[in-house]
Structure formats: structure tokens, C-alpha cells
């Protein structure tokens, strides 16, 4: 069943953090297989899409500047891929307000791309549920994190490149997040290229922790129980080469944060805290000229 088309749609593109990320192997296609736990957070970009009389894809970006040409923006690519996949003649204007830092391990661009696909479905009356397979393939071709942002739940366990997703329903009170972008982006490709293979026994032990972390969230265990299970293999190649990320991590630990981890391939580092007042205290200590500090929550509903 196709939905009634709309003239204009405004949609939020929330960022993510990874509470766990182990690299389980290198694939023949050059990508890496992962075991990761994605979590959507309350920091987002905004997209407004409008059908126009003029043919083509018009993209207007404001907010945090992006160092790319319009045609290289992932939102433009997502729109072009949507029109191609569904055989629709493009005639759209997309306004993107950037607030999520780029090169930050927060999936900002990936979320923008997924929001563009969702918004275009609404605009053209394409049923996203019935076209899940097609949209999923378009999303994965745009980037490994894009399929996660097509889903709606707060937490998802991801394997494969991160596109094989199982929703995780967390119970209980969730921690508050202090998120720090240390001011210098980290490009993803070189991080995976610098990664050394890990011992199979170590990976197996980490996968047990991954399952335990998922179970802890599902059963509503307090942060203190699952904080030791947070893990990101990509800290190994990133921290020695990126002093700004190392500094942000040290500051968060020094400020007394109980659980600190880099998100994705960096550059952002986050701390989870039991209370809002602890988070506020830590974020005050973190006020450094180069750092962008965000006090955010897990996003249970987008
Ligand atoms: O898929 P995406 O464009 O986000 O990936 C950026 C780069 O990160 C890829 O070119 C690849 O080098 C690396 N990558 C990987 N394995 C993944 C995800 C990303 O090797 N699962």
C-alpha cells in the first residue's frame, strides 16, 4: 500500500554512539566484520525536504560547515540513489541544518542519509515497510552505518558491516551521556587500515562480553554492572595517532567519569554517568577551547 504523497517533510537525523565495537575479521570485499552495539542519542541534524516544480536535487546546508562539494554530500548521494532505485524523476529541495560534528564517530552523515531516504519515502508516498529490502540495500551502498539509522529503536546490535541488526530493548533508568568532540576529525578508512588483527581467543572472550552487555541492558541492570563491558577495538589504532582524542579521554577519566569510551572510529569520546548532576559537573570541568561538549540522553523515541 503506498502512502499519500506530501509536499514537504521535516525530519530529525539523530547521532549514535557505539557502546561496544569489536572487529571480528577482515572480509574479502575489503570491509571488516563487526560486533557492535549502536545507541541513538539526543543530538541531531535537521532535514527539511520539499517537492519543487524545478527538476533536480537542490541541497542547502547550514550550521556546522562541511568540507565537501554539494554532489559529494551523502545527503545528495542518498537522494540520487533513492530516485534511481524507485524510478522517480527528481524534483526536490533539501535543507540540512548540521549540528552533529563530522568525522566524529557519531554517524552524522549516515543519519542524514537515512533521514533523506525516510523523508523522500514520505514525500513520494513510497511505503518504507514494504520496500525495506530495497531501502536497506540503498542504505548499505551509501555507508555501513546507514542501515542502523533506517531502524527506529534506541539500541541495536549490529554484525556484518553493521547492517545485520537486532533491536535491543533496554529496561530501567538509562545513564546520562557527556559527549566530547575534541575539535579534530578522524577519517574512518585509515583507522581500519591501521588496525592489527587480534588473537581469536581475545575476540571470542570479547564476544561473550558483548552478549553480557546486551543482556544487562535488556534486564535493566544499573550502569555500574555493565560499565566494565564497554569496549571499542578501534581505540587501539586511533589513540596513539590522535593526541586530541587521547586528551579528551584522559580529561573525562580525570573528571571522575565512571565509564569512558571512544565512539565508532573517533574522534568523539563519551562518558556515561548515573545522574544528571554528575554529568553536569563533568561537562563543566571539560570546558576547553577546542572541545565541543554535549550533554545528551539515549533517544528512546526519534
Ligand atoms: O561504510 P563506510 O563508508 O562508512 O566506511 C568507511 C571506510 O571504513 C571503508 O572504506 C572501510 O575502509 C572502513 N570500514 C570497514 N569495515 C566496516 C566499516 C567501515 O573496513 N565494517
Q: Which helix (H) or strand (E) holds 211?
A: helix 200-218
Cβ 143 under 6 angstroms from ligand 1 = yes
User: How sure is the predictor about 285, in pLDDT bands with cuts at 50, 70 and 90?
Assistant: confident
pLDDT in tens, 36-91: 999 999 999 999 999 999 999 999 998 876 767 888 999 999 999 999 999 999 99
Q: Are strands 8-26 and 231-232 parallel, antiparallel or unpaired?
A: parallel
Distance CA 108, CA 58 (A): 20
Cβ 188 under 6 angstroms from ligand 1 = yes
Cβ 160 under 6 angstroms from ligand 1 = no
pTM: 0.96
pLDDT at position 210, please?
Answer: 98
Distance CA 81, CA 35 (A): 27
What mean pLDDT do residues 264-268 have?
97
In the reported structure, the alpha carbon of residue 29 is separated from the centroid of ligand 1 by a whole-number distance in angstroms of 10
Ligand 1: residue of 18, 32, 160 to mutate (most ligand atoms within 8 A of CB) is 32
pLDDT in tens, 191-240: 999 999 999 999 999 999 999 999 999 999 999 999 999 999 999 999 99
pLDDT at position 288, please?
Answer: 83
Please confirm, yes or no, whether 145 is among the known catalytic residues: yes
3-state DSSP helix/strand/coil percent for the chain, to nearest 5?
35, 30, 35
In the reported structure, the alpha carbon of residue 144 is separated from the centroid of ligand 1 by a whole-number distance in angstroms of 6
Judged against a pLDDT cut of 60, whether residue 294 lies above it is answered with yes
Q: Which of 45, 112, 145, 278 is catalytic?
A: 145
pLDDT in tens, 96-135: 999 999 999 999 999 999 999 999 999 999 999 999 999 9
pLDDT at position 69, please?
Answer: 81
Judged against a pLDDT cut of 50, whether residue 1 lies above it is answered with no
CA distance from start to end of the chain: 24
Amino acid at each position: 500500500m503506498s502512502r499519500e504523497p506530501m509536499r514537504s517533510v521535516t525530519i530529525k537525523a539523530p547521532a549514535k554512539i557505539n557502546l561496544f565495537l569489536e572487529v571480528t575479521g577482515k572480509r574479502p570485499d575489503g570491509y571488516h566484520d563487526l560486533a557492535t552495539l549502536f545507541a541513538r542519542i539526543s543530538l541531531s541534524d535537521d532535514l527539511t525536504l520539499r517537492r519543487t516544480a524545478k527538476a533536480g536535487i537542490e541541497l542547502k546546508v547550514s550550521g556546522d560547515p562541511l568540507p565537501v562539494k554539494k554532489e559529494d554530500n551523502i545527503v545528495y548521494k542518498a537522494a540520487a540513489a533513492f530516485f534511481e532505485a524507485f524510478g522517480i524523476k527528481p524534483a526536490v529541495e533539501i535543507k540540512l541544518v548540521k549540528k552533529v560534528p563530522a568525522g566524529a564517530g557519531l554517524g552524522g552523515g549516515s543519519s542524514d542519509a537515512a533521514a533523506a531516504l525516510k523523508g523522500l519515502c514520505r514525500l513520494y508516498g513510497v511505503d518504507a515497510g514494504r520496500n525495506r529490502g530495497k531501502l536497506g540495500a540503498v542504505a548499505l551502498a551509501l555507508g555501513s552505518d546507514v542501515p542502523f539509522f533506517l531502524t527506529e529503536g534506541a539500541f541495536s546490535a549490529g554484525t556484518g558491516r553493521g547492517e545485520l541488526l537486532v533491536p535491543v530493548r533496554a529496561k530501567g533508568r538509562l545513564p546520562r551521556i557527556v559527549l566530547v568532540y575534541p575539535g579534530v576529525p578522524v577519517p574512518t578508512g585509515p583507522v581500519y587500515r591501521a588496525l592489527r588483527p587480534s588473537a581469536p581467543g581475545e575476540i571470542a572472550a570479547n564476544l561473550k562480553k558483548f552478549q553480557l552487555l546486551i543482556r544487562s541492558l535488556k534486564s535493566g541492570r544499573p550502569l555500574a554492572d555493565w560499565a566494565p563491558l564497554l569496549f571499542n577495538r578501534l581505540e587501539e589504532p586511533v589513540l596513539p595517532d590522535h593526541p586530541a582524542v587521547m586528551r579528551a579521554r584522559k580529561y573525562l577519566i580525570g573528571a571522575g567519569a565512571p565509564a569512558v569510551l571512544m565512539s565508532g572510529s573517533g574522534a568523539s569520546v563519551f562518558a556515561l554517568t548515573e545522574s544528571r548532576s554528575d554529568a553536569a559537573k563533568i561537562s563543566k570541568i571539560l570546558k576547553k577551547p577546542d572541545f565541543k561538549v554535549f550533554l545528551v540522553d539515549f533517544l528512546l523515541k526519534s
